[in-house]
Structure 1
Amino acid sequence: MKRFRLSRYLSVVKKEIIQLKRDKPSLRIALLMPILLLVLFGYAVNTDVDHIATTVWDQSQTSESRELIRNFVNTEYFEVISYANSYREIEQMIDDGRADVAIVIPPDYANKRDNDQPVSVQMLINGSDPNIARTAAANAQLIVQSKAFSIQETRLEKQGLGELELPLELRTRVLFNPNMKSIVFNIPGLIGLIMQNVTMILTAFSLVREKERGTMEQLIVTPIRPLELMLGKITPYVFIGFASFCVVLSLGTYWFGVPLKGSLWLLVCLSVLFLISTLTLGIFISTIAKTQLQAMQMAFAFILPSVLLSGFMFPRDTMPVVIQWLGGIVPLTYFLEILRGIFLKGVGLDALWKDTLGMLSFFVLIISVAILRFRKRIE
């Protein structure tokens, strides 16, 4: 059995670089597409809900009712866009999508408040978007509770009973992302997702392109071994992918203002390992596909499950155990933990070694299977 030879490997690298120089559209995709996707998704993927379109039917029309409305607006979760005069107007606003929330203040609101009587304020919420509905309901409840507490405290002061002291107090401290901004959580994940998709698609066409152009026969008659061919084809894309990664990393930290709390060098090293893993996956797809169209279809067939199973959109802990196991064969799963660990928590390799080992195992497995599938013969 022939050994791995550096000269044969470098010849494949040289050949692939020449092809890349001739294939300028692929170079543009590799360098410009990650920037475009990060900017697009960075602004579009935002789970923070605020300025919810709100209509108000204030039947009381008193200073007390207007004060309550200001309490809602001051939180910036609610934005009053109109004032209604009937339930029919409210329903019409919600039906046609102009408003997601309606606040109905009864006509006896001020009277009952002044007479120390309980009073109810109604809120109608459009539940077609559960995220908006949950945010509106939770924040409205907090606003009303805070207002009720303030009213009760005023009543006690009038009666000379002093300030109201609660028997139980909760003090919270949010770690890593104290302002709980979704962009701080999303941008590291987007960097991993974009790099996976772009690099995998580029190499998925690699061997298939050789078949379609008829140059596979030339490779067959050479003494190049499968491992040398695979690594030789991956190497140029590693540098292209790394350049793209540096660009989107700079964009994420400086343009979107996501702080990098951990080691930059550790992030760079583990990112190279991730790029090699996804490039190898593209090569594996290339050994299966017969045409570039098939390679594209297989690549996209992997991309969607990787988004769902990796924890990019949904927490993996809430998934069934079998689905979590399936997510374990996706390299993005491990890289997302690495990205968020280094970006948000500032942890080191001592906390990320399991994810690093997972990516390394994936690379070894996929490159081995790809070598076994590749045959230096025309099928």
Structure 2
Amino acid sequence: MVSIPENFARKLVRGEHPSILVEADATDPTAVGNAVGALSQLAQTALNRDLQGALQPLQGKPAPFDVQIHRRYNPEGITQYNIVPGLMGVILTMTMIMQTGLAMTRERERGTMENLLATPVRPFEVMAGKIVPYIMVGYIQVTLILLAARLIFGVPILGSVVLLYIVVLAFIAANLAVGLMFSTVAKNQMQAMQMTFFFFLPSMLLSGFMFPFRGMPEWAQNVGSLLPLTHFLRMVRGILLKGNGLMETLPHLWPIGLFLLTVVAIGLKRYRKTLD
């Protein structure tokens, strides 16, 4: 956000050397670093562009105004504030999908799935029974990461922890549903593991965890917007570093819910009550 003071032009004419305030979201220090560097030279660059012809000798002189930059939410540009919350989403994505995918595929390989299919349960009940235990595992992982983030790396927790755990629940469920869907496609554990990596790598590269999201090509941003990890990272960083509440979180929560419903529908459709 750029704030220009009142009577800016008049102060320039009077030679008062006014200042322009630029407030930048510094939750991602890498993304804001280049922008801050460019803004620092904004005044001089604009003058060098406009002072042409007879006014060219004036180039190189000090600019008549200053650009003051305020880094919001992470004034010191501490990298851990961005990386550690992101690791929460990356670890959950990897472990939740792989655990469920391998577990279901292993049961089919060993023949224990036959006993499960012989019971009078519906497909949704089978999937729910496989998901619930891993939700607890995911919460344990999140709790340990939060403790390490606060006690070791000094990451602030400005928002509601309850809201954070609600967001985590939706994200865990989405990833577990992906793992279950993969298990309905994979014929063995090796295929399930390969599918996990094929989903995990794009999620890590296109979500904004490794590279600034807005700095990626448009097609990459479009693909990244479909991935749950992209929205989860924004919610977690917003809750921890900005103190965001429910209203700021909802725009990123509903895409994860929509993704969850879509994947569950596909998984249920592929689920078979009988073995080939």
Q: TM-score range by the shorter chain?
A: 0.7 to 0.9
Match of 2:113 among 210, 216, 223: 216
Match of 1:312 among 209, 215, 218: 209
In 1, the alpha carbon distance for the partners of 2:169 and 2:121 equals 25
Structure 1 residues 221 and 265: CA distance shift in structure 2, 3 A: same
Structure 1 residues 165 and 218: CA distance shift in structure 2, 3 A: closer
Aligned residues: 224
In 2, the alpha carbon distance for the partners of 1:166 and 1:353 equals 43
Once the two structures are TM-superposed, the CA of residue 329 in structure 1 deviates from its matched residue by: 2.4
Structure 1 residues 166 and 328: CA distance shift in structure 2, 3 A: closer
Once the two structures are TM-superposed, the CA of residue 213 in structure 1 deviates from its matched residue by: 1.1
Larger Cα-atom Rg = 1
Aligned to 1:237: 134
Aligned to 1:246: 143
Question: AA paired with 2:110?
Answer: R
Structure 1 residues 179 and 219: CA distance shift in structure 2, 3 A: same
Contact 1:338 1:355 in 2 (8 A): yes
Once the two structures are TM-superposed, the CA of residue 315 in structure 1 deviates from its matched residue by: 2.1
Give the TM-score, by structure 1 length. 0.56
Once the two structures are TM-superposed, the CA of residue 353 in structure 1 deviates from its matched residue by: 0.7
In 1, the alpha carbon distance for the partners of 2:196 and 2:157 equals 31
In 2, the alpha carbon distance for the partners of 1:249 and 1:333 equals 19
Question: AA paired with 1:248?
Answer: I
Once the two structures are TM-superposed, the CA of residue 165 in structure 1 deviates from its matched residue by: 8.6
Question: AA paired with 2:152?
Answer: W
In 1, the alpha carbon distance for the partners of 2:191 and 2:165 equals 32
Question: AA paired with 2:216?
Answer: M
In 2, the alpha carbon distance for the partners of 1:286 and 1:348 equals 36
For residues 81-125 of structure 1, what are the alpha-carbon distances to aligned partners after superposition, in whole Å with 9 as ceiling and x for unaligned?
A: xxxxxxxxxxxxxxxxxxxxxxxxxxxxxxxxxxxxxxxxxxxxx
Once the two structures are TM-superposed, the CA of residue 277 in structure 1 deviates from its matched residue by: 1.0
Give the CA RMSD over aligned residues: 2.3
Runs of 4+ in 1 over 6 A off after TM superposition: none
Alignment of 1:9-20 (within 5 A): none
Contact 1:206 1:283 in 2 (8 A): no
In 1, the alpha carbon distance for the partners of 2:81 and 2:147 equals 14
Aligned to 1:282: 179
Match of 1:368 among 259, 265, 268: 265
Once the two structures are TM-superposed, the CA of residue 220 in structure 1 deviates from its matched residue by: 2.2
Aligned to 2:81: 184
In 1, the alpha carbon distance for the partners of 2:216 and 2:120 equals 48
In 2, the alpha carbon distance for the partners of 1:296 and 1:279 equals 14
For residues 3-58 of structure 1, what are the alpha-carbon distances to aligned partners after superposition, in whole Å with 9 as ceiling and x for unaligned?
A: xxxxxxxxxxxxxxxxxxxxxxxxxxxxxxxxxxxxxxxxxxxx88xxxxxxxxxx
Question: % of aligned pairs identical?
Answer: 39
For residues 181-227 of structure 1, what are the alpha-carbon distances to aligned partners after superposition, in whole Å with 9 as ceiling and x for unaligned?
A: 11111111111111111111111112211111111211222111110
In 2, the alpha carbon distance for the partners of 1:323 and 1:263 equals 31
Contact 1:199 1:279 in 2 (8 A): yes
Aligned to 1:194: 91
Aligned to 1:51: none
Aligned to 1:259: 156
Match of 2:222 among 302, 325, 344: 325
1:203 maps onto 2:104 in alignment: no
Structure 1 residues 265 and 377: CA distance shift in structure 2, 3 A: same
Contact 1:208 1:286 in 2 (8 A): yes
Aligned to 1:297: 194
In 1, the alpha carbon distance for the partners of 2:187 and 2:175 equals 20
Aligned to 1:357: 254
Aligned to 2:233: 336
Once the two structures are TM-superposed, the CA of residue 344 in structure 1 deviates from its matched residue by: 1.4
Q: Name the SS for the 2:66 alignment partner.
A: coil
Once the two structures are TM-superposed, the CA of residue 167 in structure 1 deviates from its matched residue by: 3.1
Once the two structures are TM-superposed, the CA of residue 176 in structure 1 deviates from its matched residue by: 0.5
In 2, the alpha carbon distance for the partners of 1:206 and 1:359 equals 24
Structure 2 residues not aligned, in runs of 5+: 1-28, 42-60
Q: Name the SS for the 1:212 alignment partner.
A: helix
Structure 1 residues 219 and 165: CA distance shift in structure 2, 3 A: closer
Structure 1 residues not aligned, in runs of 5+: 1-46, 49-130, 143-163
Aligned to 1:270: 167
Once the two structures are TM-superposed, the CA of residue 320 in structure 1 deviates from its matched residue by: 3.0
